[in-house]
Amino acid sequence: MSIFKKLKKKLGWKIRNSKPDYDVNPLIYSQLKPFRLPLVLVQIIMMIGTIGYILIDDFEILDAIYQTGITFTTVGFGEIAPISQAGRFFTITLIIFGFAVFTLSTAILIDAVVKGKLFELYKERGMLYKIARLRHHFVIFHHNEYTAQLAKQFKENHMPFVVVDSRDDMEQIAKEFGYPYFIKEEPYSEKAFLKAHLSSAKGAISLSKNISDNITLIASVRLYEKELGRWPFLIISNAETQHDKERLVKLGADKVVAPPSLMAKRVTAMAIRPDMENVLDEFLYKKDTPIDMEEVFVKQSSWVVDHTLKELHLRDRMKVSVIGITECKGRFIQMPKGTTVIRAKCKLLLVGSHVGISKAKKLINKKEKPMELDNVI
């Protein structure tokens, strides 16, 4: 191990490996096999020509190689030295055989390029190396209108993602909808997981309109997760009915979105309170908004454990409000009072500015109570 690597290990710096999990080089080498015969034939012609000129007309080795080259390629530079009658006969024979080898080699190369997938494999290898550099990205499976809208939102919020679909025109789809990273593969296959570098991803999103595809994908990701022995993936999916939503949650999905239900709730909210219809769009879903919302996990070692909300003074000092608490058992407390006691492993739902929430997170994650809070009334 080098000194630099030892220093990084001692300082706790993570050494990232940007090598793809899936190696396409064997496929590229298989596509290059047809190129071997033309190269061998050219080498044989060059060797025969060089030896012939040396034996027949006593050429120097460099002159023999040069004369063979210009004769074989028929560039027409002429003779670099006087050639005997036997040498001229040999040259004519070399031209005939050289032209035959050149024609055969050209045909083989054109056939290999036209019928093969060499250029596609080179492009895919470049894409795999780009994807391998991603960390904590999302892998979105199946392309449809949901994926297109989600990709747009992810790009606006600078969230890295990879789209996986088996369509033949996936490259054109990626250009049309602006997918920076994409994989043309069956979504639930291990090959797709390797190519999308799922091992370093934050989570997987399955947005198929077919419930069977979502079930297969969720089960496959959970199995792959166990094989890797890593922390659980965040799996998000969609369902058309409440029954399908419950099924996906039982199978391992962390979050399931039901588009019909969401639309019904949104339309109902518009009908009941038309003046509030743009609140979410303006303050939560819109980028560069002054208001942000985030859920913060309370660790066992945090100083806020067994303290009340009002002891944190989030609203007074950071303009941040706690609008909900999710207990470790899953019960959600809406609009908790200041006298509510914070327990370990619960989640605090914070609302405020991005800067204020960042400060609140640092405060909550501290192991000891800050001294400045002792003097706050």
Q: If you average pLDDT over residues 189-197, what whole number do you get?
A: 93
Alpha carbon distance 80, 225 (integer Å): 69
| Fold exhibited by the domain 29-115 | Helix Hairpins (1.10.287)
pLDDT at residue 130 is higher than 80: yes
pLDDT digits over 347-375, tens only? Answer: 999 988 888 999 999 999 999 888 777 66
> Mean pLDDT score of the chain, rounded to an integer?
86
pLDDT at residue 206 is higher than 90: yes
Categorize the per-residue pLDDT at 294 as very low, low, confident or very high, splitting at 50, 70 and 90: confident
Which regions of the chain carry the CATH code 3.30.70.1450? Answer: 291-373
Model pLDDT, residue 375: 64
pLDDT digits over 53-91, tens only? Answer: 999 988 989 989 988 888 887 776 777 788 888 988 998
Taken in order 148, 151, 157, 158, is the CA torsion positive or negative? negative
Q: Are 28 and 125 in contact (CB under 8 A)?
A: yes
Which regions of the chain carry the CATH code 3.40.50.720? Answer: 135-257
Kindly give the interhelix angle for 170-177 and 145-156, rounded to the nearest 10 degrees: 50
pLDDT digits over 244-253, tens only? Answer: 988 999 989 9
pTM above 0.75, yes or no: no
- Specify the pairing of strand 138-141 against strand 161-165: parallel
Which regions of the chain carry the CATH code 1.10.287.70? Answer: 29-115
Residues 6 or more apart whose CB falls under 8 angstroms from that of 305 comprise: 298, 342, 343, 344
Model pLDDT, residue 105: 85
Model pLDDT, residue 279: 59
pLDDT at residue 1 is higher than 70: no
Model pLDDT, residue 115: 77
CB-based burial of residue 125 (10 Å sphere; 0-12 exposed, 13-18 middle, 19+ buried)? Answer: middle
Assigned CATH for 291-373: 3.30.70.1450
Q: CA–CA distance from 231 to each of 97, 107, 134, 204, 299 (Å)?
A: 65, 53, 17, 13, 17
| Fold exhibited by the domain 135-257 | Rossmann fold (3.40.50)
